[in-house]
Amino acid sequence: MNSTAKNVTAIAPQLDAHNLATAQLFRDRWENRVTALANCIEHLIVNHDMSETSAELVAVQAYAEIESANQAARIDVDATTSSVVVLHTKDGGPAVFTVTDLMRVLEQARKEERAVVVDRDRRRPVVLEH
């Protein structure tokens, strides 16, 4: 090994599941939400030997992170529980959504045909189209 090669350092971060999902989602950035998520889930399962359940979760989390990158609003993970999601709006004020509230939003989206399943065979995950 020559002296130049000894000084070379890796500049790419380790490709963990989140980075793999993010990279795939950027490849499909011009697709709609359902297509981008379906492609990402399939990519993680086929090319990275992930279980379907793990691939779904990683893909949805990466998609949400990309989508919210320029949002002033944020979900307060410290205040959120299995029964309530606390959202701080762009002005900083909290808005709370109970499970009942979220189920109503989902039902309304279903009535409006905006609730779409990513994998039609398994009927999951469900996402809302805007």
Q: Rounded mean pLDDT of the chain?
A: 88
Whole-structure pTM value: 0.79
CA-nearest of 76, 71, 68, 69 to 90 is: 71
Packed helices 52-67 and 17-27: angle between N→C axes, nearest 10 degrees: 60
Domain boundaries defined on the chain: 13-70, 71-130
* One-letter amino acid for residue 111 of the chain: K
pLDDT one-digit tens code per residue, 11-47: 445 578 999 999 999 998 888 999 999 999 999 999 9
Q: What angle do CA 113, 95, 93 make, to 5 degrees?
A: 135
Tell me the percentage of the chain whose pLDDT exceeds 90: 75
